[in-house]
Amino acid sequence: MYRKTRVLVTGGAGFLGSHLCERLLKEGYEVICLDNCFTGSKQNILHLHNDPNFEFLRHDITFPLYLEVDQIYNLACPASPIHYQFDPVQTTKTSVHGAINMLGLAKRVRAKIMQASTSEVYGDPEMHPQQESYWGNVNPIGMRSCYDEGKRCAETLFFDYKRQHNLRIKVARIFNTYGPRMHPNDGRVVSNFIVQALKNEPITVYGDGSQTRSFCYVDDLVEGFYRLMNVTDDAFSGPVNLGNPGEFTILQLANLVIEYTNSKSEIIYKPLPENDPRKRRPDITLAKEVLGWQPYTKLEQGLLKTITYFDKYLTQEEAAAQ
């Protein structure tokens, strides 16, 4: 009897996870969305609940889990500084204990498993753009270390499980991603700027705004996840950079957001946070060669879609408060 491929998405009610769940359902998979709703929101997946192939499970991956699945996308972890620094010990536990628990599950049921790693493993990079072969320049005891080093340790665990247990693993290093369903108060630069601009509040730029970032629209990133998990060469594990190689200064982004929102906001400057990377840009040569993947959404297109989402979100929030 034919059975649909059953996929577990941890962190599935979050920004990236909800878009991934949506994509997998469209592809005909049976999806188990797991989240403890610390930063994820049930609102992000409300529209999926009537799909017979969708199931939501409230669970914290720092505790073991027993399920029968064919694939696991491990996305669970607070990803913005405000959230991952709120409880840094729990952040490290989510990356490390969570990885151990999900790898243990994958080992028991022989599932293929993908780790959502991050460009933060490169730290404040001395190589530009960043290639997967670069080992990084990371402070192991700073305010950001709970996230940076937690993700680095998770990568170590994934490759040790591959070497020791012959597990089929995939590791994606995610660069700055944006789009609808971003948390409005998570402190990430795109959502911060858009919310401030729509409210005509001062736009906060840290440092002089000359630091650079590369912004990938969420649909492009999810396409990269899907291709990595289902790549023809199943022996390919990564790590592989997934991001948009277009590079912009933070000041450029601020001015674009002001322009696209017709905002009256002014730009104000505050001190740069500790260990904030000066440059961030992915080298995606490997993703192009092995996955046939590259992002197609221009920053202008993606920003306009994200602005439309936040405009609607803030309007509804204002109406609910009245």
pLDDT 10s digits, 49-86: 999 999 999 999 999 999 999 999 999 987 656 666 66
* pLDDT at res. 146: 80
Nearest CA to 189 out of 56, 299, 25 is that of 299
pLDDT at 239: 97
pLDDT value at residue 86? 62
Q: Is the peptide bond before 129 cis (omega within 30 degrees of 0)?
A: yes
Quick one: what percent of the chain has pLDDT higher than 90?
64
Report the distance separating Cα 17 and Cα 10, nearest Å: 7
CA distances to 29, 41, 63, 121, 182 from 8, rounded to whole Å, are 10, 17, 15, 25, 21
- Return the structure tokens found at 156: 């170590």
* Close Cβ partners of 38 (under 8 Å, ≥ 6 residues apart): 78, 83
Choose the catalytic residue: 29, 84, 122, 147: 147
Tell me, what's the pLDDT at 117? Answer: 95
Q: Is 147 a catalytic residue?
A: yes
Strands 112-118 and 71-74: parallel
> In terms of Cα–Cα distance, which of 218, 224, 245, 222 is closest to 302?
218
User: Omega of the bond prior to 239 within 30 degrees of 0, cis?
Assistant: yes
pTM for the complete prediction? Answer: 0.91
Determine whether 33 is exposed, middle or buried from the number of CB atoms within 10 Å of its CB (0-12, 13-18, 19+): buried
Task: Identify the pLDDT of residue 297.
Answer: 95
Average pLDDT over residues 299-317: 91
Q: Which domains does the chain have, with CATH numbers?
A: 6-176+217-244+282-296 (3.40.50.720)
Q: DSSP letters along 208-222, please?
A: TS--EE--EEHHHHH
